[in-house]
Structure 1
Amino acid sequence: MNIKLKYPIPANEEERLWALSEFDVDYTEVSHVFKDLVLLAAKIAKTEVSLVNLIDSYTQWSVSNHGLPIEQMERTESVCQYTITTNDYFEVKELSKDERFKDKAYVVSDPKLDYYFGVPLTTEQGYNLGALCVMDKTVKDLSPEKIELLKIVGKEVVNRLVALKTIQELKAQATAKEELRKKVAHDIRGPLGGIISLTQIISMQGENNKLSDVLEFINMIQKAGTSLLDLATEILNSEDKQINTKSREASADDFSLETFKQKLERLYLPQAKNKAINYTVSLVPESVDMPFPKNKLLQITGNLITNAIKFTPANGSVSVMLGLSNSARQQILTIKVADTGVGLNNDAVKQILSGNKHTSDGTDGEAGFGFGLALVKRLVDDLHGTMHIDSVPNEGTTFTISLQWTN
């Protein structure tokens, strides 16, 4: 008798997804930020595998890994989907004996993992963005001390995500060289400089205060703070080269159509291949070659693509068309995601455009969570863009997103 599993969904899922989108993480570019932390987690737990996973509407993104070269997994195939529903930790001693996981590919075949321990990556507002997990082929028995250490590492992952978000926001807000310099100095360099000075004082007085047991952690915080200051300096130097130039190439906070296309291919081609779907990303021939802000574009387009793959049967097609026009006053980016899937009726289209949740299972039985398209609509509205849906039941759907920026 086959039992259909009920997949766990956090009670605050809609706002959790919004919080994750606010971090605007480029899943292909942040591995180095957490590399030392996944290594540290594996050493603490003495496991072969350690991952930092961020979980969106459909996908678990392994943004940094140790011992297992994996970048993504369908959310419903992951163990961490259960971890984000807890406020403490989630542990499975033997995956091979658990009805929820015993048939998963990573359990029954290489690397044949059997042990899992994960802590949620929780923001100050209480949203679990994903999980820090450790896994192994053999059962582990983690002491309370090791569990607490793993929780500390998980908190540091969130701290670094917040730091990256802060830097992104400062760079996006800065419109001139001196403005950027003042913002970075005030919002990052000052507070972090104070933290570093404080840790130096505590370090010098540590033995007298019987704090020798925590000196190593203080030194780690000091190094992390120093590293962030260096990053702020690097930002200033790179901006010095870009500001006041008549023409510029895409910076770290910009996309060109070609870089956007390449990222969409890298991120979502594996999902399409896994379902035997013909997936293409192309550019409108007459598009201009200009940089444009990448703010939330991966979150918007990625949700549309994954949704299209989910509702398109094997041997169908999903195509993405990107176009950019430019005038003296504004840039207009057009994103079209078309599929040959099951389509939508008029009521479903109206529900999506109104920002309400619409959910059903995919063509291969993929679970429907009902938040992906609602998130897209909210993100597009937040950017003052427009979304149009053309759909015919049993023939396919085309989503057209239009976003504009003032030059």
Structure 2
Amino acid sequence: MSAIPYPENETERVKALHRYQLLDQPIDDGYQQIVELASQIADTPISLISLLDADRQWSVALTGIDVREIQREYAPCTLAIFEDDLFEVPDMRDDERFADNPLVHGDTNLQYYAGIPLETPDGYKLGTLCVLDQKPKKLSQEQVFALQVLSQQVINSFQLRFRNLEMTSQVEELARQNRLIDQQKKDLSEANSRIRDMNQSLLELNGSLESSVRERTKALTKLTKELDTFLYRSSHDLLRPITSLEGLALLAEEVIKSPEAKELFGKVTDTAQGMKVLLRKLLQAHQIINARKYTGEVDVAFLIALVQQAIQERYPEANWNIHLNTSGLSQPWKTEGHLLRVVLENLLENSWQYRQRGQTAPPKINIRVFEQEDQVVLEVWDNCCGMLPEVQTKAFEMFYRGSEGSVGNGLGLYLVAKTIEYMGGKISLESSHGVGSRFTFLFPASEAQPQQASASFDPNTTLISSIALSTGS
């Protein structure tokens, strides 16, 4: 064989590959599904997700062959990374570049190869998504398109992994800083005990220690703010590739004829949608943390309609039978509408996700707002699946789910509780498994200052049934 060709940026390319920490790892089920789907699309027995290290080729996932590592000089993918798109060799026996390749002329008897480079956003080609056969062939345009969609999914997955590694590093650094601060506080407490029995010089030392703690606390506050900004930017930035992945998967479902392939692309779509919901929850958490105190008159019926529209954009089939009663208000409700919307959106989304098993009618939601002494009370009932007693005690904890099979991500009710806490309110929950749940929110008197009713305020009972809305992703 001729000498191995190397890209001009080979040193930087290998460094970039190692940053993703994909080499020498167990096979991931998601990547395994991709190579199996690639084999079905191309109608070939062999498919790989390959990575080209300095002197070897490593397969992240593979089907139709057992060897995960081969010498780079024998790997056809070494040539494929020089291409911008598909690199296809219909019959390697007739190609002089493979004249003495043992994979072609040995027991393996490889005759056909097609590979699409896996290129990172910063221009490094880490390896390929490739298919191989022991007989000559050529891919159709439809097969090439489907493989291109899959290769983009692979590189998007690589990017998500890289972002997760970065985020993990940031979290570990924050934890380290927290441990340092905790130790500083402990040291300061012990020093204060001794200072009570010491002279003025030790009091001066105490002042120095307090100054040090203030500086450390200031540094921690800055780091916490940076982490919050990182959370927001990462969640916001990740929404775009996930939305693109969802769109590509939906498009592929329309193009691919194989039922098995459609099923796999459906799973890809469901996973992308679940990740979008999780990222939106994280963005809501950022919104709550950084919310400004602002109160104004709230039209609850209009707010519910906005919430329905937002949820239906994510779940087009979602609908409810909502009964709103504001007759217990003597004047318009003055509160923080932007935060109340977060509460209602998570409650309605939960009611849709946790419908009764086999329920076909829209979930029934009763919402009542009324004055009680010096408070405004908001009550929300639903007729959904309800909760067991052991679930109710933990329902508002972060990332808590009633079971591993739960459809939620464990953030909805946590965000509700944190929002109510930020608004200065209180929350209580009553639930019966198989019957439904009632949430009661108490808002302080400052949220219900007497004010002349506006002409547009209507205290009468309002019935909001299913609203037909145009939706999009």
TM-score normalised to structure 1 length: 0.47
Structure number with greater Rg is 2
User: Could you say which structure has the higher helix fraction?
Assistant: 2
* Structure number with higher relative contact order (C-alpha < 8 Å, ≥ 6 residues apart): 1
TM-score when normalising by structure 2:
0.41
